[in-house]
Structure 1
């Protein structure tokens, strides 16, 4: 009986290990639901083994296509894998910022992909040309860029050519409408051209793709504050801090919005920020500002403290 129990308990890990070498280390037990149950809830390929396999696949793909020159980006260094291929230039980028860089192919692991995108099949994106699957779970992918209009739009945006940026982003969205940063930068260009309603629509679409996108939430909060829509601005800053409690600028922005109605909470927000980052100068100055009228001595103490910090 004991032997039978041991065999029963060993079945799933042994099957997984035999079927999925060299990915034995990402086994999850049946209480978790296996790797599929862990997907989007726990780390999977934390050693980036899938990236090595994806790199080998891409090298062979480029050879078959007789391509000896290309720009390859990855979410972790692949320099070593491509060391014998000098025509293939490799570099790092963050997946969510992929539209802001020049590249032809990209190797993306599922680490640091927002869980929302994993669970809602937003990742892998449609321009995946190869997937590394373990128990039918994608742990790494190879992307082929369909257009560089998104990158050209971002360049135009940073150079102040807003009409050009709008045109490029519109073109890019014909190829890829599941990248929150394209919508975000599109919204920025639209706002700069006075098209605020269209910009708001683009921002809503960005948050549908990634509800926790930090730059989008920050931008939405700032826009609402500029429009004197205090409640909406507070909502966006609170969402941002819920997504990332170390987004220090949001503490200062949120505190400034509520200081007139809830002084104690405003100060507590700034103190929480400083507990996380004691040298964040804007929070020290903002905390001093909350004392300026009713206790200038304390205010001056914070201002002097801020003066000692060199950013």
Structure 2
């Protein structure tokens, strides 16, 4: 039998009776805040709540043990080691400031170092150096921040709407494969999300008890905001939110006139905001060496950098490969819409639609805070057209409050139907579980790769294949290495071998120390993967163009193992015992095109789905003046890999050698649609227009070629020729001199 319902209610503070227009203020306060449910409705529901909470903790820790290494950890590991040295030397070892570093590592200093210092210190104490054990420690520590998110999401929902809402929140979080997956291997976005959520939760707790918040809640706010800021400079948003909502709260209670009439209370509010901001920011600085040097100036520098930080990489979105700084405004909304469980989407929209009723039940300002900390950052990022990439991982920090909104909204729906049927509560939980089933099953089937989940709206991961990035961080490299170990390819008594891969850091750090010294890791770009010799290749599909993936010609016939999620290939292990293409590439570089043709022909005869075998053959044929054969080989490459840039270039060049300018022009223009920054395409288009005496168009294309490849000597000479034909010898000489220096 269920235990009798018990609740304790905490009343909000009212404005003093002396305040002018106190009666309207009471009405406003009544709208802003409502009672919290602090005890459980039934003992049985409470047991379910804590069982699910324990399950969530166990799942997160379990996922941490099986997840792979993410590609960005190469930056974080370096920062972690340097931070430990910085603090161990009391600041004398300044390598963590990257003062003379010009590589991409130099951006590390703009991040707070809390997680990296903690993980680096623990690994240092355990005697771990970067390798499998080192990363297991990092991932377990990362999972603890996931646990913090779980506890706060469940606790916030429970406090606002009762234990059943807490249960619903846990279900929604367990049905969040991307959050779960990132929680165990993403040391930047997850600690920041945990701090952001913690700061927002304790701001809510402080607001409902103003003007005298509990010291525990004030401390929780300071620690949460400090954690966020000690991870990313953007954590100061929490302090801004605090000032905004404390200001709203004061005006609600006392009105504008209250600034003068209740000046003592006004000072109290100001003191809370200033004190918590100074304490939180000061605490964050202790874990951020670069900001320590000049707290205000360097924090502003970090904020300015990351608000305009245009990481320019090619991404796959909606089936098209594009640069990350040129994504459409819809990018984050589309990603959220296709990679979040249906239950979470339904819960969020229900919260928006039911805002008036949720406000009446839980307090308008309480619900508004949840919506604000969720929607404002997303709206701001979209308004600023910030460069995003790798899905929506940069927006993970707004996701936990989406879960809280969904939980209290489903609970509200259950209560509305309780009057009609006593099974409404169980029915609501059943509906949420049903809508979550696809996501829950995905994590259960793919515990090491949960972060590649896509929902049924896009056809799941099968529908997303070739349309959106899947394993963009190369976590599947771990399963590839483990397969090679299971097959006896990698073992302590092995001969030396070379592994070619697009994710060298992931593979290198996954190798066991017992055989690591016998393995050479060769970084190689996927579309040039046979330009260097290797014995085995590990290739996640991150750098393969969408049309190639959708063409069902990858994985190739060289594949000896596939790493899959729900049957969709994420990475392959390739073996190339004959190395026909590699040998042919080497010979071709020495100018022996005829000999290379024979080897390339052997390659495509045995592996007709190797587009690089066909492009290599086309290149050798072009160099020997065999234009028709080269065109045929390039077309074969495009049959395997549509939109392959090399094949398109060779096709256009073959048309040029046949003096077929129109077809060459069409091909190079198509190449520019595929690769808008292809300097050689612009150069040859310039040459075509120069031959047509359309000098202005030729000039523009030569300039574009130089823009994307400043060392392209031919383009300078092309412009010099145009100036000479126009009688402008001064500019012609200037461009010829520039070409001579290249």
What is the TM-score with the length of structure 2 in the denominator?
Answer: 0.38
Aligned-residue offset at 1:282 = 5.2
Match of 1:30 in 2: 456
Q: CA-to-partner distance for each residue in 1:180-199, whole Å, 9 max, x for gaps? A: 22112223333444544333
| CA–CA distance in structure 2, aligned partners of residues 191 and 286 of structure 1 | 22
Residue in 2 aligned with 1:236? 667
Other-structure match for 2:484? 58
> What secondary structure does 2:444 align onto?
helix
Deviations 1:240-284 (A, max 9, x none): 111111111211210221243644543444455566667866556
Quick one: distance in 1 between partners of 2:625 and 2:709? Answer: 37
Whole-Å separation in 2 of the counterparts to 1:166 and 1:273: 30
Matched, 1:115 2:542: no
Query: Taking structure 1 as reference, are residues 156 and 268 closer, same or farther at Cα in structure 2, changes over 3 Å only?
Result: closer
Q: Please say if residues 551 and 640 of structure 2, whose CA atoms lie closer than 8 Å, have aligned partners that are also in contact.
A: no
Runs of 5+ unmatched residues, structure 1: none
1:45 and 2:476 matched: no
Match of 1:162 in 2: 593
Deviations along 1:25-55, whole A, 9 cap, x unmatched? 1111221211111110111111211011111
Secondary structure of the residue aligned to 1:45 is coil
43 and 267 in structure 1: CA distance in 2 versus 1, 3 angstrom threshold: same
Q: Does 1:20 align with 2:446?
A: yes
Does residue 7 in structure 1 map to residue 7 in structure 2? no
Aligned equivalents of 1:12, 1:75: Cα separation in 2: 31
Query: CA 1:197–1:275 in 2, change beyond 3 Å: closer, same or farther?
Result: closer
CA RMSD of aligned residues (A): 2.9
* Structure 2 residue aligned with 1:76: 503
| Higher strand residue share | 1
CA distance in structure 2 between the partners assigned to 1:303 and 1:51 by the alignment: 53
CA distance in 2, matches of 1:164, 1:125: 25
CA offset at residue 6 of structure 1? 2.8
Query: Matches of 2:628 and 2:453 in 1, distance apart?
Result: 48
The 8 Å contact of residues 79 and 91 in structure 1, kept in 2 or not, is answered as: no
1:162-201 superposed matches below 5 A: 162-193=593-624, 195-201=626-632
Distance 2:625 2:566 in 1: 49
Cα shift at 1:216: 2.4
SS at match of 1:22: helix
1:156 CA drift (Å): 2.1
Mean CA deviation greater in 209-218 or 104-113: 209-218
- Contact kept, 8 Å, 1:127 with 1:146, in 2: the verdict is no
What's the secondary structure of 2:498's corresponding residue? strand
Secondary structure at the counterpart of residue 129 of structure 1: strand
**Matched length:** 309
Residues 78-104 of structure 1: CA deviation (Å, up to 9, x unaligned): 222225212222211122222332111
Does the aligned pair in 2 maintain the 1:284–1:302 contact within 8 Å? no
CA contact (8 A) 2:618 2:650 kept: no
Give the secondary-structure state (helix, strand or coil) at the position aligned to 2:495.
coil
* Contact 1:285/1:303, CA 8 A, preserved across alignment: no
Indicate the residue corresponding to 1:266 in structure 2. Answer: 698
Give the equivalent residue in structure 1 for 2:573: 142
2:571 aligns to what SS in structure 1? strand
TM-score (normalised: structure 1): 0.86
Q: Which residue of 2 aligns with 1:245?
A: 676
Structure 1 range deviating more: 275-284 or 112-121: 275-284
Higher helix share: 2
Match of 2:637 in 1: 206
8 Å CA contact 1:146–1:175 kept in 2: the answer is: no
Q: Deviations over 1:280-303 (max 9, x none)?
A: 66556545644544472xx74576
* In 1: Cα distance, 2:635 partner to 2:661 partner: 18
The structure showing larger relative contact order (alpha-carbon pairs under 8 Å, at least 6 residues apart) is 2
Cα pair 1:288 1:300 within 8 Å, conserved: no
